Structure 1
Amino acid sequence: MNCKTSKLRDAISLALVVSASATGAAFAQEATTLDKVEVTGSRIKRTDVETSQPVFSLSREDIQAQGLTSIGDVIQNLTANGSTLNATFNNGGNGETRVSLRNLGANRTLVLVNGRRWVAGTGLGGATDLNTIPTAAVERIEVLKDGASAIYGSDAIAGVVNVILRTDFDGAELNAYYGQFSQGDGSRESYDITIGSSGERFSAMFGAAYVKENPVMAGDREISAVPIFNTGSDFGSTTSPNGRFALCSGVFTSGACSVDQTRPNGVVGQFGYDEGQTPAQWRPWGAGVNDVYNFAPDNYLLTPQERKSIFGQASFDITDNVRFTATGTYNNRRSEQLLAAMPIVLGTGPGAGVQARTISISPNSVYNPFGQTVSRIQRRAVETGGRSFNQNVDTFGFVGALEGNFEIADRYFSWDVGYSYGRNDQNDTTNGLFNILALRNALGPSFIDGGGVARCGTAGAIIEGCVPLNLLGGVGSITPEMLAYSTFVAHDEFQYEMKQWFANVSGELFELPGGMLAFAAGLEHRTESGYDSPDALIASGNTTGNSRTPTSGQYSLDEAYLELSAPLLRDVFLARELELSVATRYSDYDTFGDTLNSKFGFKWKPFDQLLVRGSWAEGFRAPSISELYSGVADSFQQIADPCSTTFGGGYNGLTPDQRARCHGQGVPVGGYDQGNSQIRISVGGNPNLLPETSTSKTFGMVWSPTFLSGFDISLDWWNIEIEGAITAFSGQEILDDCIRNNNTQACGLYNRSGGGNIDTLLAAGLNLDVIEAEGYDLTVNYRLPETAWGSFSFSWDTTYYASYEENGDGNNQVGEYDDANTANNWRIRSNLLTRWEMGDWGATWAARFYSKQDENCQTMVDYGYADLCSDPDRYIDTPEGPVNAAQNRLGGATYHDASVYWKAPWNAKITLGVNNILDKDPPVSYSTFANSFDPQYDVPGRFMYLQYNQKF
């Protein structure tokens, strides 16, 4: 086979060291004598790795220098990456780590492994979980910062991340890693071994790896020890361990009492308990220091994971021109998220589900001393130890192919045919949930039998196995026996499967003035399927947690593509090289129909030191199975109802027309007490969704001056427009759009129960959004000449986000932090890596910069914490007059990471490193969900690690 040579690998490795986003002329001259390879962003095999598109690369050495144990965390540090899931997402996380190029959403970034589409995440698919790719198997990462649907199909709107696995490994290698935070927590350990052999016609490699990442508790960092930093427990939950209750002396039916609810003394209001009190020792709710619960310390700040993986690659030359290749990976991930104990909300408690509204504490319960129905029930069951969400995920990946080459009339052609398979199997277990059916029995009539044992039911109708539940006695009143009966362990199953058949051919057709006209063409057939099978109790809604219905779905498609590369001129005046490239792809889906997407690019070298490049591309994203078919599920979102007077609802700040809309929906004059900042809403799929469409444009230059050897700089402008973007509006956006903006469509998505509380609210995806994003990428590389003090090199990569607008409203969101929408919109993200090498010693210093942002701080003003906002007196003009719109400044943050290594005589390498060596704290945010800093920033504390590499 002539597809791969040692000379080629060495040349590519050299290019990656200086970052292939800006390769110099010297490398291009070297490469022209080499065999042809496929580069990210093109299917045409070529000797020149420079294309019309900007590509940024990280070598294995660059990856290891970051001191991270997850390939997902490495990719998170890319300057072009925006806000996505990672291990710092506890409330709302699922153990996955994703990438979102241009901050356009993880489902608009395509992830490839060895140039092949990687299986989507667990459940019903969508974005890729980067933790399913074994870190030890990775050779390099290539990032295409351009739309590429014409080359790779759906999802490549914002760009492509191509993870290249190790191949042709000869020998053995062992790696060990251990690190932890300076506070003594969050330890991580990693071990892997790789063994391979490469011969004349056969090569094989096998590897195995183990990674364990331990948690950090939110209570162990000052910034996360309370729900909102600097406010104590004021923003805690009113569903506390001591409880919040009310009696109904009238008729109680399905979440309503026919008369005012009272305390045991007959006074209207609610009552609660202090720790250690008996049910009869009640006190008015709101008079105790423990009525607002600080749930933050019970949460993970950094979630734990344990990953085991094996990977292998083999190839065999069947003939001199035909080779069989196979690559297989298996990864098992066990991860966990831990939340505060389950809030038991029943009866008239705000946010109670359909089944939960029908439950009250019977006046005949042995634990009810009041002789009346307890109709309002809010009690945090801390006796459970919290809610633990556990994932056990198996990911399989396999690619088998025949590949070869041939020549016709001195024309070189290569081909490959094969099959790609990927599957995620996920089993979830959740502890700390309550069974609604069991609660109905345990809170119903009960009695003490002749042996002094509390029994459910009546003497003539005993409910066997049931244990009466005491919610009216403060913390500690729920015994292990009560929990054993009333709680349950939820078991959920998910699967996502992808099958793909492919056939490709690439070659040269005829001579043009600048070289051979080259092409690539291919056919692909792909099927994707998935299911979500929740626990039976969750599906029925008979649980105090989020309910959802079982779902399954699939789709299939056929695709054909053609790509041409036309070198028009070479070695003439003002055109050392001029090349045009075009590509088009036809896709036929069995869901929405067909689509055709094309791409055009050019690269022009007026002289050797300067490359000018540009591209225009159409793109699309097919709706995922989750977006199409996901069943109805519960979601508890932090919502400040504008018609409420609590939790920053802002009723008092509404205009007369806005208040009238509240009153028309049943809200009392004067507003209402929302009762709970977390409101139960429903989310689900929409089978009528159409694909998103996009147009991407890039234009840039690469300069490699001959007078400054080892230096190159690239600057690229990019612009992306997306139409028909699938958007699921949050509950907060729906309520605000209805009440504040009088959007009747939004008003039709929810209704209220008596007293003004939100009863039901449905949020489903719609093809309504229009997005336009624009910015610049700058990459500078400089490798200095060898000196007496060793060799030095610098790599500086920066993304400047110029604008981000939705629906043509003229509101540039860059620099505005909005956790409920696109979250981080940094104007600048920048990474600088400095490397020093001298003999057996070396060191790196890396700086990661995030620019400042402004967030809406009006809620803090409304709640009496104006002094926490950097600009509490900010006003904006509206048609109805000036409106207070307080802001808070999230200052810029720079993290510094350093490492030093020594190459030992026994063919080993020992590295000692510290990430966040200056102990930089993240900027405080007052709007981030479930935290006081955004999860894209580092967890506070220095992280120290030791790496050992041994080659045999």
Structure 2
Amino acid sequence: MDHRNTRTAVRVGTLPACIAIALAPALAGAQEKAEKGATTLDRLEVTGSRIKRADIETSQPIFSLSREDISAQGLTSIGDVIQNLTAGGSSLNSTFNNGGNGETQVDLRNLGSQRTLVLVNGKRWVGGTGLGGAVDLNTIPTAAVERIEILKDGASTIYGSDAIAGVVNVILRQNFEGAEANAYLGQFDKGDGAKQSYDFTIGTAGERYSAMVGFGYVKEDPVLAGDRYISKEPTYTTGNFYGSGTSPNGRFALCPGGYDPAAGSCKGPQTSFTGRPGTFTYDGRGSAPRPYVPGVDAYNFAPENYLLTPQERRSVFGNASVDVTDDVRFKTTFTYNQRESEQLLAASPVTLGTTPNIPDLAEHVYISKDSVYNPFGADVSRINRRVNETGGRVFKQDVRTFAIDAAFDGVLRAGEKTFDWQVGTFYGENKANNTTEGLFNLIALGQALGPSFRDASGVAQCGTAAQPIHGCVPLDLLGGVGGITPEMIAFSGFTAHDEFKYTQKNYYANIGGDLFELQGGALGFSFGVEHREESGYDSPDALINSGNTTGNARRATSGSYDLDEAYLELAVPVLADVPFAKLLDFSVATRYSNYSNFGDTLNSKFGFRWKPVDDLLVRGNWSQGFRAPSINELFAGQGDSFPSLTDPCNTTSFPVQSSVARRTCVAQGVPQGGYVQDGDQIRTTVGGNTKLKPETSQSTTFGFVYSPGYAEGLDIALDWWQIKIEDAITTIGAEDIIQQCINSGGVGPTCGLYSRQRGGTVGRLVDTTTNIGGTRAEGYDLTLGYRLPETSFGKFSLTWDTTYLAERVDDLDGDGRYGEDEQLQPAIGQPLNHDEGGNLVGEYTDRDNQWRIRSNLGTRWQKGDFGATWNVRYYSAQDEVCNPRYEADGFGYLCTESSRYVGIPTDANSNGVWDGAAGGDRIDSRKESRHHIGATTYHDASIFWNSPWNSTVTLGMNNLFDKNPPIALEAFANSFDPQYEVPGRFFYMRYAQRF
């Protein structure tokens, strides 16, 4: 059984009674005993405050999930559980295949996962393999979790950097006595995506000691995108039309005059078999080469991708405590977690020669006219060939996380006063060994595609008969599907081996207690000092680091910093038990932080609580916050990224630009009317910036908690919140870099970040981290909990938690104006919203959801040994800009609102223009086709039975009504956003045995 004494349970931390439904009966029982004199409630440390107190309601909104709440969701990852919260936003999870790395992150308020602080037992958790930018929740053993507390407010003054959008505090099991085993099995109704989880915990406790150890194992199988109709095409219902321009048969062009690898161009005109410049496709099986037709010849890469990525996790966790003396206790907690995860993408595209937007080194490689596999008698200057013979690109991670916290705490007596103190240290380490299969070595490709010959036995060899290249195997990229042998792949291909490591060391000491009495009670304080050291490195494979690969180049990253901090927090009880002030108190805190890399910062907060009557608590909080740049943001070596980019100067976007923007496009080498953009993904240089400063924030909340005496068990909490971020650590974005430049007439600061090649194609674009602009978000949180009186039908309870997002506006250019001038002329494919002053609420962009409403309703029924839960999750509708290419290509039906205009249309047949000469003011409307992303509701249900042999059997189904996610046309590499559920019903069974 799980025996927890009152002192220990309270010290770990608990939550406001208005929302901690699961804890309410235990707290009520303890209070009843206190009134009878049997015991008294110990003071406790609440998430968001370092001061221990007997009153668990704070000036800040907090939400709690108990172990039972977590179990009822039928999920195997703590990260997935937290992402289902209404305050959660877009962040990594196992549905992120292209661009994912097996991590699961939490993103409160949709302000970025790097702005949510994750704690374990109140201590800062070690950063993920992103080198400190965000925590990977999969590194926390699921089986070890007792409950989760979510502080929906900034808390930098209490916990330091990163606590801008809120704090997630994961509380691990403590003082466990007995033994418990759990088993979980589940899978989709389609027969895939199986999940299994097993854990075992054993513990003992005595008068002066406790000890516990547990073991956990989780395995999650994949779901392939081709096994769901909604994801088997790059863009829903368009077949392969919007697939990749790099196909298994290939896309080529010739250099009759010879190729100059040093210049990366033909010595004469590049031609195709049509007699004019262009490209051709060729299957190598006797068919004549023919012109490559965009869209028609595009490759459907979708079926070969994971829709849900697999992973396997093993964990060991434990804790122990011993009373050294009556006033001193030693405590330690340790965790070890290993995650093996995998992502699968379509086979590697080999893009060489004059193919647009490729690394410089790839321009040096072409197919020689003297290759035995070249039937054309001319150098092949452009090469786009997807090598399906490799079986795809496989990304594997082996991540090992170790953390240990050790501390002495106790009571210091000074006369009649006692003070709580603690001194301790935390060490956390994240280490990953990653491999990538299916890549090609550019140096080897240069040899394998160069001159070759056949020896006397007819075997193809690299080089010439006079100078053979021993060990080299000529490569046949022109032979069509199946023309590449395993021996060819063995020579030209390679497997990349990368290593990551992130280390965090904390040393802390604090003391707190009561100083003196005021009318409302004792003035409490907490004072503490902390020292933290963080370091990390990313050591990519040597070929990746050098850029000699068909994959994305990435330079090595290494760096560290340390800091010293001191904080002071005061709880000032002003009034108590007087008319119109049953309680009035203030909380004040300040934190000083001194970083080795950028200097110091001081942040403060003020909060209040006021109870005019017993049933009503009014509360508010104002706090300053900051986020220090992470190791990766500071020190990341420059590398390649290929974001989807719709060039504002292409033929589709050019006509709707301002006159100044159009003239700038032409001045940069773009033909009048725009150029035909060859592919959406543009090579972009990304990396860190050692000159970054911390971003700052201000958070404000105001609300009330109402627990009417006439409705016992009913608690209502309503809070307004606003967060404002300045000097944001971010990247400008590839499209915005180009758009801001052409809007400025070619003289703006972003113009030096990109260049164009002949014909207008973007050739070089740099988008590294910087401090610029900010964000302002505002909304309301409503939480209603009701524990109905027990009846002959059993016990019923419900929790309804809703977040309403009222405003989300950005300051993109750093001029301090939020949403006022930011969207006057955005990149095509981004929302305009002139009629809403730049408010992005309800506007969807790629993997960035701005739901106006997210709402969860959880209900629970129990009668005797039987019970059931029914949970409902609601996501409100969104809209996205429908790219003009859909109408141009004959897929206009995808744009559900094709006649929408921004502003007042002066000509119903006009797309509208913008007068740059007039400072960007609108002189005509702009047609903006839209696509509506419908509201979505998921239903999850479970039933359970408590057996006579002290076990619990649970059967459940998530997505009970088989709700498909809504179509999102701009979602990267898919047709729906990964924050929605994978299509299909998910069945599961859980068995828990207690000893």
TM-score (norm 1): 0.96
Whichever residue aligns with residue 794 of structure 1, its letter is L
**Relative to structure 2, which stretch is displaced further, 283-292 or 692-701?**
283-292
Question: 1:240 aligned to 247, 259, 283, which one?
Answer: 247
CA distance in 1, matches of 2:294, 2:585: 76
Q: Does 1:850 align with 2:875?
A: yes
1:451 Cα deviation from its structure 2 partner: 1.5
Whichever residue aligns with residue 41 of structure 1, its letter is G
**Deviation readout 1:752-781 (Å, 9 max, x if unpaired):** 122222111000122111211111110000
Q: Does 1:588 align with 2:594?
A: yes
CA distance in 2, matches of 1:442, 1:714: 69
Q: Which residue in the other structure is 2:782 paired with?
A: 778
Q: 1:655 to 1:17 in 2, by over 3 A?
A: closer
Q: Does 1:565 align with 2:571?
A: yes
Question: 2:285 aligned to 258, 274, 277, which one?
Answer: 277
Q: Which residue in the other structure is 2:259 paired with?
A: 252
1:655 Cα deviation from its structure 2 partner: 4.8
Q: Please show how residues 880-891 of structure 1 align to structure 2 within 5 Å.
A: 880-891=923-934
Whichever residue aligns with residue 778 of structure 1, its letter is L
Q: Please show how residues 866-877 of structure 1 align to structure 2 within 5 Å.
A: 866-877=892-903
CA distance in 1, matches of 2:23, 2:859: 18
Q: Could you tell me whether the CA contact under 8 Å between 2:806 and 2:852 is conserved in 1?
A: yes
Higher relative strand content? 1
CA distance in 2, matches of 1:457, 1:598: 70
Q: Which residue in the other structure is 1:218 paired with?
A: 225
Q: Which residue in the other structure is 1:471 paired with?
A: 477
Three-state SS of the structure 2 residue aligned to 1:136 is helix
1:86 Cα deviation from its structure 2 partner: 0.7
Q: Which residue in the other structure is 1:307 paired with?
A: 313
Whichever residue aligns with residue 816 of structure 1, its letter is G
1:590 Cα deviation from its structure 2 partner: 0.8
Q: Which residue in the other structure is 2:910 paired with?
A: none
Q: Which residue in the other structure is 1:429 paired with?
A: 435
Whichever residue aligns with residue 370 of structure 1, its letter is F
1:675 Cα deviation from its structure 2 partner: 2.0
1:726 Cα deviation from its structure 2 partner: 1.3
Q: Which residue in the other structure is 1:755 paired with?
A: 759
1:352 Cα deviation from its structure 2 partner: 2.0
Whichever residue aligns with residue 979 of structure 2, its letter is Q
Q: 1:533 to 1:207 in 2, by over 3 A?
A: same
**Deviation readout 1:437-470 (Å, 9 max, x if unpaired):** 0000000000000121100001121111110000
Structure 2 unaligned blocks of 5 or more: 812-817, 821-836, 904-913, 915-921
CA distance in 1, matches of 2:643, 2:223: 24
Q: Could you tell me whether the CA contact under 8 Å between 1:817 and 1:855 is conserved in 2?
A: yes
**Deviation readout 1:291-314 (Å, 9 max, x if unpaired):** 210011111111111100000100
CA distance in 1, matches of 2:556, 2:453: 39
Q: Does 1:764 align with 2:762?
A: no
1:732 Cα deviation from its structure 2 partner: 2.0
Whichever residue aligns with residue 930 of structure 1, its letter is A
Question: 1:87 aligned to 94, 100, 119, which one?
Answer: 94
Q: Does 1:457 align with 2:463?
A: yes
**Deviation readout 1:297-347 (Å, 9 max, x if unpaired):** 111111111100000100011011101101000000111111111111100
CA distance in 1, matches of 2:191, 2:540: 37
CA distance in 2, matches of 1:289, 1:727: 34
Q: Please show how residues 327-726 of structure 1 align to structure 2 within 5 Å.
A: 327-645=333-651, 649-726=652-729
Q: Which residue in the other structure is 1:791 paired with?
A: 795
CA distance in 2, matches of 1:496, 1:473: 46
Q: Could you tell me whether the CA contact under 8 Å between 1:21 and 1:55 is conserved in 2?
A: no
CA distance in 2, matches of 1:670, 1:738: 18
Three-state SS of the structure 1 residue aligned to 2:861 is strand
Whichever residue aligns with residue 484 of structure 2, its letter is I
Three-state SS of the structure 2 residue aligned to 1:441 is helix
CA distance in 1, matches of 2:636, 2:980: 31
Whichever residue aligns with residue 285 of structure 2, its letter is Q
**Relative to structure 2, which stretch is displaced further, 324-333 or 677-686?**
677-686
Three-state SS of the structure 1 residue aligned to 2:728 is strand
Q: 1:549 to 1:335 in 2, by over 3 A?
A: same
Q: Which residue in the other structure is 2:853 paired with?
A: 828
Q: Does 1:733 align with 2:736?
A: yes
Whichever residue aligns with residue 468 of structure 1, its letter is P
Q: Could you tell me whether the CA contact under 8 Å between 2:336 and 2:400 is conserved in 1?
A: yes
CA distance in 1, matches of 2:506, 2:307: 39
Whichever residue aligns with residue 890 of structure 1, its letter is I
Q: How many residues get paired?
A: 943
Q: Which residue in the other structure is 1:896 paired with?
A: 939
Q: 1:303 to 1:129 in 2, by over 3 A?
A: same
Q: Could you tell me whether the CA contact under 8 Å between 2:62 and 2:152 is conserved in 1?
A: yes
Q: 1:657 to 1:269 in 2, by over 3 A?
A: same
CA distance in 2, matches of 1:13, 1:731: 45
**Deviation readout 1:696-750 (Å, 9 max, x if unpaired):** 1111100111111111100011111111111212212222322356462222210
Q: Please show how residues 903-922 of structure 1 align to structure 2 within 5 Å.
A: 903-922=946-965
CA distance in 2, matches of 1:794, 1:913: 18
Whichever residue aligns with residue 522 of structure 1, its letter is G
1:814 Cα deviation from its structure 2 partner: 4.0
Question: 1:177 aligned to 173, 184, 194, which one?
Answer: 184
Three-state SS of the structure 2 residue aligned to 1:484 is helix
Three-state SS of the structure 2 residue aligned to 1:542 is coil
Q: Does 1:294 align with 2:294?
A: no
Q: Could you tell me whether the CA contact under 8 Å between 1:22 and 1:779 is conserved in 2?
A: no
CA distance in 2, matches of 1:368, 1:265: 18
**Relative to structure 2, which stretch is displaced further, 403-412 or 212-221?**
403-412
Q: Which residue in the other structure is 2:831 paired with?
A: none
CA distance in 2, matches of 1:223, 1:809: 35
Q: Does 1:262 align with 2:265?
A: no
1:15 Cα deviation from its structure 2 partner: 6.6
Three-state SS of the structure 2 residue aligned to 1:504 is strand
Three-state SS of the structure 2 residue aligned to 1:355 is helix
Over the residues paired in the alignment, what is the CA RMSD in angstroms?
A: 2.0
Whichever residue aligns with residue 818 of structure 1, its letter is Y
Q: Which residue in the other structure is 2:832 paired with?
A: none
**Deviation readout 1:255-284 (Å, 9 max, x if unpaired):** 21132222357554322123x615xx4321
Q: Could you tell me whether the CA contact under 8 Å between 1:712 and 1:781 is conserved in 2?
A: yes
Q: Could you tell me whether the CA contact under 8 Å between 1:114 and 1:164 is conserved in 2?
A: yes
Q: Could you tell me whether the CA contact under 8 Å between 2:954 and 2:991 is conserved in 1?
A: yes
**Relative to structure 2, which stretch is displaced further, 249-258 or 157-166?**
249-258
Whichever residue aligns with residue 851 of structure 2, its letter is W
Q: Could you tell me whether the CA contact under 8 Å between 2:14 and 2:56 is conserved in 1?
A: no
Whichever residue aligns with residue 63 of structure 2, its letter is F
Q: Could you tell me whether the CA contact under 8 Å between 1:123 and 1:426 is conserved in 2?
A: no
Q: Which residue in the other structure is 1:195 paired with?
A: 202
Q: Please show how residues 111-150 of structure 1 align to structure 2 within 5 Å.
A: 111-150=118-157
Q: Does 1:865 align with 2:873?
A: no
Q: Could you tell me whether the CA contact under 8 Å between 1:339 and 1:388 is conserved in 2?
A: yes
**Deviation readout 1:794-818 (Å, 9 max, x if unpaired):** 1000111110111212344443333
Whichever residue aligns with residue 781 of structure 2, its letter is D
Whichever residue aligns with residue 795 of structure 1, its letter is T
Three-state SS of the structure 1 residue aligned to 2:767 is strand
1:784 Cα deviation from its structure 2 partner: 0.6
Identity among equivalent pairs (%): 59
Q: Could you tell me whether the CA contact under 8 Å between 2:258 and 2:378 is conserved in 1?
A: no
CA distance in 2, matches of 1:325, 1:388: 43
Three-state SS of the structure 1 residue aligned to 2:605 is strand
1:593 Cα deviation from its structure 2 partner: 0.4
Q: Could you tell me whether the CA contact under 8 Å between 1:23 and 1:712 is conserved in 2?
A: no
Q: 1:685 to 1:882 in 2, by over 3 A?
A: same
Q: Could you tell me whether the CA contact under 8 Å between 2:317 and 2:334 is conserved in 1?
A: yes
Whichever residue aligns with residue 169 of structure 1, its letter is F
1:223 Cα deviation from its structure 2 partner: 1.1
